[in-house]
């Protein structure tokens, strides 16, 4: 479904990702892991075309997209939940969700029913300002906004970071359900080993902008974690 081919990514003159080759399969949850600063978020931003320069190829469903603008990539079916959530100040919960509809290729402007199924809290608070929600509730809102784009692949950057424990489990269950029950392909940057092992089919660990280890989640051993992720 998605291929990174000899991908190099730069912030200005800083070379962050080096000759990376990676394939994400349709219908799987793929977890990208690694210590802070190894290029995980940069890799996701290169997929969306946000604020980075790239060399090499990015192929989605057989089409080369590395020259597409960000909105064009979104209309190809890439939904993005950024680190930090980026809820728009001043807008209501409903209006934040509806922003995602601007990226739909079919022009629909209604909230997908699965949003209310996964996050009933949002339906009960449509007129509240999004920035007045708790961190965990804002993360639900950010996922709902991405789902409003009608994505075929959902990209989440550390979706449970800094969230109160009583909502973390709900978000984790929602991510698993989106893949298992709705068939959504998911790319997940995640530091929580337990959740990575529970949710993901395959993984890749980045180190210095390259893939240091990869495989089936069953291969995510404590030895690999200690070698590539321990501080």
Q: What are 136-171's pLDDT values in tens digits? A: 999 999 999 999 999 999 999 999 888 888 889 999
Give the model's pLDDT for residue 231.
66
pLDDT above 70: percentage of residues in the chain:
100
- Please state which architecture CATH assigns to domain 2-228: 3-Layer(aba) Sandwich (3.40)
Give the model's pLDDT for residue 107.
83
Average pLDDT over all residues of the chain: 94
pLDDT above 90: percentage of residues in the chain:
86
Q: Say if residues 31 and 205 touch (Cβ distance below 8 Å).
A: no
Kindly give the pairing relationship between strand 14-24 and strand 2-11.
Answer: antiparallel
Residue 74 pLDDT grade (very low, low, confident, very high; cuts 50, 70, 90): very high
Q: What is the mean pLDDT of residues 56-61?
A: 96
- Give the distance from CA 180 to its chain's centroid: 16
Q: How far is Cα 180 from Cα 36, in angstroms, rounded to an integer?
A: 29
Q: How far is Cα 23 from Cα 32, in angstroms, rounded to an integer?
A: 12
pTM of the model: 0.93
Q: What are 103-123's pLDDT values in tens digits? A: 888 888 889 999 999 999 999
Give the model's pLDDT for residue 137.
94
Phi, psi of 24 (to 5 degrees): -105, 130
Q: What is the mean pLDDT of residues 30-38?
A: 94
Q: What is the mean pLDDT of residues 190-218?
A: 94
Q: What are 162-201's pLDDT values in tens digits? A: 888 888 999 999 999 999 999 999 999 998 899 999 999 9
Q: 84 or 63: which carries more pLDDT confidence? A: 63
Weakest mean pLDDT among 44-48, 68-72, 141-145, 227-231: 227-231
Give the model's pLDDT for residue 62.
93
Q: What is the mean pLDDT of residues 211-215?
A: 96
Q: Which long-range contacts (CB under 8 A, 24 or more apart) does 19-24 make?
A: 19/56, 19/210, 20/56, 20/209, 20/210, 20/211, 21/211, 22/204, 22/211, 22/214, 24/153, 24/185, 24/187
């Amino acid at each position: 479904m998605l291929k990174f081919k000899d991908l190099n990514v730069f912030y200005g003159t800083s070379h962050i990702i080096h000759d990376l080759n990676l394939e994400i399969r349709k219908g799987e949850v793929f977890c990208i892991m690694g210590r802070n600063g190894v290029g995980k978020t940069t890799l996701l931003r290169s997929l969306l075309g946000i604020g980075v320069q790239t060399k090499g190829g990015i192929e989605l469903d057989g089409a080369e997209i590395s020259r597409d603008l960000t909105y064009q990539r979104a209309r190809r079916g890439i939904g993005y939940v950024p680190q930090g959530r980026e809820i728009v100040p001043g807008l209501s919960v409903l209006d934040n969700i509806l922003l995602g509809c601007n990226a739909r290729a079919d022009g629909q402007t209604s909230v997908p029913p699965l949003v209310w199924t996964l996050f009933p809290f949002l339906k009960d608070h449509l007129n509240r300002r999004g920035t007045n929600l708790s961190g965990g509730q804002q993360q639900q809102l950010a996922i709902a906004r991405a789902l409003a784009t009608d994505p075929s692949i959902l990209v989440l950057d550390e979706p449970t970071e800094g969230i109160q424990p009583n909502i973390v489990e709900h978000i984790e269950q929602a991510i698993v359900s989106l893949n298992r029950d709705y068939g959504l392909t998911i790319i997940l940057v995640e530091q929580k080993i337990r959740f990575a092992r529970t949710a993901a089919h395959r993984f890749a660990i980045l180190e210095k902008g390259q893939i240091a280890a990869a495989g089936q989640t069953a291969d995510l051993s404590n030895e690999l974690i200690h070698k590539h992720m321990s501080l």
